[in-house]
Amino acid sequence: MNILEKIKTNYSASLNEMTVAAYLEECKQDPTMYAKPAERILDAIGEPEILDTRQDPVLSRIFSNKKIKIYPAFRDFYGMESTIEQIVSYFRHSAQGLEEKKQILYLMGPVGGGKSSLAEKLKHLMQQNPIYVLKAGEEVSPVFESPLGLFADYTDELESEYGIPSRYVPSCMSPWASKRLREFDGDVNRFKVIRLYPSIQEQVAISKTEPGDENNQDISTLVGKVDIRKLAEYQQSDPDAYSYTGGLCLANQGLLEFVEMFKAPIKVLNPLLTATQEKNYKGTEPIGAIPFDGIILAHSNESEWAKFLNDKKNEAFLDRIYKVQVPYVLRVSEEIKIYEKLIRESSLRDAPCAPKTIELLAEFSVMSRLKEPENSSIYSKMRVYNGETLRETDPNAKSIQEYRDDAGINEGMQGISTRFAFKILSKVFNFDSEEIAANPVHLLYVLEQEVIKMMLPPETETKYLHLIKSVLASRYAEFISDEIQKAYIESYSSYGQNIFEKYVIYADHWMQNNDYRDPDSGEIFDRSILNEELEKIEKPAGIANPKDFRSEVTNFFLRYKANHGGQSPRWDSYEKIKNVIEKKIFTNTEDLLPVVSFNVKTNEEDEKKHRDFTRRMRERGYTDKQIRILVDWFMRVRKTMA
């Protein structure tokens, strides 16, 4: 089925019409015919995938070996497992008829944290399952009311004859339906039932309202008002003179999104109290109560919530709220996925992005959101939150639970927003007038300039600049040094192999407590000399536990030879020893500067090595211009790395 046929099929499917009697008979067989909004949205969300984090060492550290639920419908919402589970719990409890069915779902979080995206997702999910709406003649109920509203006074009979539980019956029928029923002399069969799909575009069972001007906003934005064009034909109290255009009218049997709800005056919010508790509300004119059986979804930032919370006059309203915090993402790996998704959805998807660029931005964003830990570095805390283990590299690092307990429940509610970070990324990609590409050097510069432009409080600005200049710049200097060395080191593979094999021989004899006779010189190395030789290789890499490291590398070497017919493994086939050997080879970076620099070469050999170096850098994901920029930057900062 092509897209044109699909649209036509979906449109015609939404116009199915039946009698009230036929609808009730269908209800006997199919409970989804009268399902509540929470049940329909739960069905659209689908069953979760159960992820046993014990099977993944990173996730096991983050989630303490728990089994977590992953909902495919929210797969693009990265690092929000707890928030999404709370939202789904609200719908689950509401669908079960518990207290949540009378409460407003309220998302509270910082700007750019994902509240609006979650709201949009929920509205799209609400569109997936149909609703059944009363129709009289050619006119559909203006408040999209359920046919069961006609039986509001006959719930016992409805349950006994058709098996429809009384909790599914609306509290009342609308004034529009009441007038038609009088005109039909109580003949319910003169009504029709139409199947509709909720629609954001057509405002069918889905509506959005925003606070207006405090001075002139009234409750009509929620409950509708009289249509003055009809007053020539109807009395002001006639249901047909009323304009059912308020948010509650349009969102019946669906979802009402109230943006920045607490910016609205309390008098405007009052209709929400009766709509949630009594499932109906009063209009602005003397007409009957209007039914509402939908979900109210509100969201605002923390400052608006705090202001509303501190006003004692709002206690009744506060009791009707199911609050879900939507903090910023605090895991670098998940923040990176957000940026990659935003890039994929833009024209930058094919633009070159040098390695580490997005990761550095994600690290800055996450560190800006973390509470500064005591007796530990914020960089280590960020890595622990990302599921890394730092036992060997940072003895002061705490467990993830210790960090969380110290930070409290509001961590992640402040800091750099994802929206701001993506604007930074946009400027970095467009920083160079000759090439649309991103690299970490331009990122660090743009970040510093934008932080200064923000005119933040002095304490915050100092913290952010420290993160950029001291933490990120120094970490990147180490990274690009390794990148340059790795691109240069391939011509030293035989040298690396010799170091590797000699290390294993020394380590094996040291562990066996045997002397070693050098076959070339005949010199005998006792255990203390062997230890000195091993430390010459280990110390540049900062090996914290040499005994375990020596045993691990030797076992790897011997196992490999046993399984491969006596052939020795390559020096770079085992990541741990590979890093150690690279550090050993390049303890003095001066050796590689003449080759990697873009200065005029004094001989053909260096020129060839330079060409090989740039080729390997391109293979590692850098453009020619980025190689020059990064090498120049590396040469400027190499002295501070010593």
In which residue are the tokens 């949630």 written? 276
- Give the span between the Cα atoms of 23 and 25, in whole angstroms: 5
Between 184-198, 548-562, 570-584, the lowest mean confidence (pLDDT) is in 570-584
| Confidence at residue 9, expressed as pLDDT on a 0 to 100 scale | 61
Reported confidence tier of residue 206, pLDDT bands at 50, 70, 90 = very high
State the Cα angle at 531 between 527 and 535, rounded to 5°.
175
- Give the span between the Cα atoms of 227 and 243, in whole angstroms: 5
For residue 459, the Cα-to-chain-centroid distance in whole angstroms is 28
State the Cα angle at 620 between 615 and 625, rounded to 5°.
65
| Confidence at residue 596, expressed as pLDDT on a 0 to 100 scale | 76
Query: Identity (one letter) of the amino acid at 48?
Result: P
User: Could you read off the pLDDT of 390-414 as tens digits, one per residue?
Assistant: 877 788 889 999 999 999 888 999 9
What SS3 class is residue 297?
strand
- Give the span between the Cα atoms of 105 and 642, in whole angstroms: 55
**What does residue 75 show for φ and ψ, rounded to 5 degrees?**
-60, -30
Going by the DSSP 8-state scheme, the letter that residue 2 receives in this structure is -
| 143-166 exposure pattern, b = at least 16 Cβ within 10 A, e = fewer | bbbbbbbbbbeebeebbeebebee
Give the containing element (helix H, strand E) for 485: helix 473-489
- Give the span between the Cα atoms of 539 and 546, in whole angstroms: 9
Handedness of CA 557, 563, 568, 571 (dihedral sign): negative
Reported confidence tier of residue 542, pLDDT bands at 50, 70, 90 = confident
Cβ atoms of residues 597 and 488 within 8 Å: no
| Confidence at residue 219, expressed as pLDDT on a 0 to 100 scale | 84
In this prediction, what percent of the chain has a pLDDT beyond 70?
A: 93
End-to-end CA distance of the chain: 65
In this prediction, what percent of the chain has a pLDDT beyond 90?
A: 54
Per the model's pLDDT, the better-predicted residue between 80 and 571 turns out to be: 80
For residue 103, the Cα-to-chain-centroid distance in whole angstroms is 25
| 167-201 exposure pattern, b = at least 16 Cβ within 10 A, e = fewer | ebbbebbbbbbbbbbeeeeeeeeebbbbbbbbebe
| Confidence at residue 216, expressed as pLDDT on a 0 to 100 scale | 57
Handedness of CA 572, 573, 576, 577 (dihedral sign): negative
| Confidence at residue 403, expressed as pLDDT on a 0 to 100 scale | 93
Cβ-based neighbours of 613, under 8 Å, separated by 6 or more: 484, 487, 488, 595, 596
Domain 80-130+197-321 has CATH 3.40.50.1100: no
User: Could you read off the pLDDT of 478-497 as tens digits, one per residue?
Assistant: 888 888 877 876 656 667 78
Residue 587 has pLDDT above 80, yes or no: no
| Confidence at residue 606, expressed as pLDDT on a 0 to 100 scale | 76
Between 239-248, 318-327, 387-396, the lowest mean confidence (pLDDT) is in 387-396
Per the model's pLDDT, the better-predicted residue between 289 and 212 turns out to be: 289
| Confidence at residue 197, expressed as pLDDT on a 0 to 100 scale | 93
- Give the span between the Cα atoms of 317 and 272, in whole angstroms: 9
Q: Alpha carbon of 506 to those of 537, 561, 564, 589: distances in Å?
A: 11, 17, 22, 26
Q: Where are the domains of the chain?
A: 12-34+133-195, 80-130+197-321, 332-479, 491-596
As a whole number, mean pLDDT of residues 114-119 equals 92
Residue 214 has pLDDT above 70, yes or no: no
- Give the span between the Cα atoms of 172 and 281, in whole angstroms: 10
Residue 88 has pLDDT above 90, yes or no: yes
Reported confidence tier of residue 146, pLDDT bands at 50, 70, 90 = very high
As a whole number, mean pLDDT of residues 34-46 equals 95
| Confidence at residue 6, expressed as pLDDT on a 0 to 100 scale | 61
Which pair of tokens denotes residue 582? 């690279």
Per the model's pLDDT, the better-predicted residue between 592 and 358 turns out to be: 358
Per the model's pLDDT, the better-predicted residue between 135 and 640 turns out to be: 135
Cβ-based neighbours of 54, under 8 Å, separated by 6 or more: 60, 65
| Confidence at residue 499, expressed as pLDDT on a 0 to 100 scale | 83
| Confidence at residue 491, expressed as pLDDT on a 0 to 100 scale | 55
Per the model's pLDDT, the better-predicted residue between 496 and 625 turns out to be: 625
Between 157-171, 448-462, 522-536, the lowest mean confidence (pLDDT) is in 522-536
| Confidence at residue 15, expressed as pLDDT on a 0 to 100 scale | 58
Give the containing element (helix H, strand E) for 508: helix 493-512
Reported confidence tier of residue 580, pLDDT bands at 50, 70, 90 = confident
- Give the span between the Cα atoms of 395 and 91, in whole angstroms: 44
**What does residue 385 show for φ and ψ, rounded to 5 degrees?**
-60, -25
Reported confidence tier of residue 263, pLDDT bands at 50, 70, 90 = confident
As a whole number, mean pLDDT of residues 350-378 equals 94
Reported confidence tier of residue 135, pLDDT bands at 50, 70, 90 = very high
Within 10 A of 592 (CB to CB), how many other CB atoms are there?
A: 20
Per the model's pLDDT, the better-predicted residue between 586 and 328 turns out to be: 328
Pairing of strands 255-259, 206-209: parallel
Reported confidence tier of residue 8, pLDDT bands at 50, 70, 90 = low
- Give the span between the Cα atoms of 480 and 488, in whole angstroms: 12
| 558-587 exposure pattern, b = at least 16 Cβ within 10 A, e = fewer | eeeeeeeeeeebebbebeebbebbbbbbbe
Pairing of strands 206-209, 139-140: unpaired
- DSSP per-residue string spanning 129-175: S-EEEEEETTEE-TT---GGGGGTT-HHHHHHHH---GGGS-SS--H
Per the model's pLDDT, the better-predicted residue between 316 and 361 turns out to be: 361
Which pair of tokens denotes residue 64? 């303490």
Within 10 A of 288 (CB to CB), how many other CB atoms are there?
A: 18
Within 10 A of 298 (CB to CB), how many other CB atoms are there?
A: 25
